[in-house]
């Protein structure tokens, strides 16, 4: 799941309006922010395997530290604690914590059974929505549209950057999603890991246009 995680970030603004969208967007994407770092460190592993599912050519061989249920709870609690320590904003901290854990929950619906419960666990979980391209796109598109609507109806632009930065983000992420769904597989796992570091730019972009909007 990709834009589905962003939908959670957008929707979170309504629950924690004082929190920056950059943080709210980073929370549900946190496991994917950590994942390429762990890949490059050799702690986790992925293979390029076209046909692994209908939607993605990636075979997630091992990612217990970024994508197990227990570690998602650990990361969620840690990030929530850090956020609360920095801001003392309880609603924001709660949303950040649940946002991180929501990543595993949403992945459970989309992935084939490859999600562990904890590092070292052999049982793997996933309902396999990715086996249907149409189903995956339909679910994520509806989620993303609802998230964008909730954010747009909760905030208002205070300048042109708040308008065009926001809508450029929405259009660009939609195009990236389409390219990811129908484009060619990455040439190698290492290329994928290095390219995926660009995900860190998404919360920064969200922080920037959100700063130019008012609640």
Contacts with 29 (C-beta within 8 Å, 6 or more apart), sequence order = 5, 6, 9, 103, 199, 202, 203
* Domain boundaries defined on the chain: 3-214
Give the model's pLDDT for residue 150. Answer: 98
Q: Which residues of the chain have pLDDT under 70?
A: none
Give Cα 58 distance to the centre of its chain.
16
The per-residue pLDDT for 1 is 78
* Phi, psi dihedrals of residue 46, rounded to the nearest 5°: -140, 150
Query: What is the pLDDT at residue 115?
Result: 98
Q: Is 182 exposed, middle or buried (0-12, 13-18, 19+ CB in 10 A)?
A: exposed
* Global confidence as pTM: 0.95
């Amino acid at each position: 799941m990709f834009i589905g995680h962003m939908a959670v970030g957008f929707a979170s603004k309504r629950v924690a309006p004082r929190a920056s969208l950059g943080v709210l967007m980073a929370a549900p994407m946190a496991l994917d922010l950590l994942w390429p770092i762990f890949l490059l460190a050799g702690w986790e592993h992925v293979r390029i395997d076209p046909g692994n599912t209908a939607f993605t050519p990636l075979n997630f061989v091992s990612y217990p530290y970024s994508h197990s249920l227990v570690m998602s709870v650990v990361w969620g609690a840690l990030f929530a604690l850090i956020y609360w320590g920095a801001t003392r904003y309880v609603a924001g901290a709660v949303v950040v914590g649940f946002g991180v854990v929501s990543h595993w929950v949403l992945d459970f619906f989309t992935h084939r059974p490859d999600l562990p419960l904890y590092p070292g666990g052999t049982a793997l979980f996933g309902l396999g929505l990715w086996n249907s391209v149409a189903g995956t796109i339909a679910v994520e598109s509806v989620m993303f549209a609802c998230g964008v609507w909730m954010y747009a109806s909760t905030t208002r632009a205070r300048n042109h950057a708040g308008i065009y930065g926001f809508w450029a983000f929405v259009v660009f992420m939609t195009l990236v999603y389409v390219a990811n769904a129908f484009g060619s597989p990455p040439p190698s796992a290492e290329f994928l890991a290095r390219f995926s570091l660009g995900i860190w730019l998404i919360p920064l972009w969200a922080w920037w246009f959100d700063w130019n909007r008012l609640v």
